[in-house]
Chain A
């Protein structure tokens, strides 16, 4: 069934610090989760995904953690850079179409 990720709308971090973007979902049937990044004036860009049989997955400077018990994900960005400034969306999937919620806007302070 369809599900949407719920985010805090904004997050501000200092350049060089680690960022943690949180996402809650409601549909316990969600078994696949995707993170997209959308920079201003551009289309969304795939970052990383994770399946429900995993609780952690690492990419380049990013780590996604999945806690199915409380239906929560987080995207961690190490050593945040100005180029990380964007809106981040988590998309839970359990069948049907992917639904973008409102996302979290990450601002990086110099």
Chain B
């Protein structure tokens, strides 16, 4: 069964350092999402791509976060510099299209900022 791949699974960094997360969606899925999930809360959408274009980044803290999906396939989410409050699970999801198409999630990257 096809899966969304994410790496690394765990990342520990010190504040002010740069971190990057990678996501490979299910083959053929045009829409890719990055979510942040703080412990005890539901995932919050950070950015949504349709192919290589950003369609929603309204909740992305653009002073320190950036996301790209250059060839419309895999994607990278970067944080620079990391802050203590960035400690969370970062989840990637993909779907065939947007709207009500089912989103398939990866296992996530657990980030700890010390």
Contact = CB atoms under 8 A, between A and B. Distances in A.
A89 B108 contact: no
Interface of A: 32, 34, 41-46, 49, 89, 93, 97-103
Interface residues of B, number: 21
Interface in B33-60: 35, 40-45, 48, 56
Contacts of A93: 99-100
B104 interface: yes
Interface of B: 4, 35, 40-45, 48, 56, 91, 93, 99-100, 102-108
A83 B5 CA distance: 23
Given A43-B105, A43-B107, A45-B105, A97 B43 contact: no
5 contacts: A43-B4, A43-B107, A46-B104, A49-B102, A102-B41
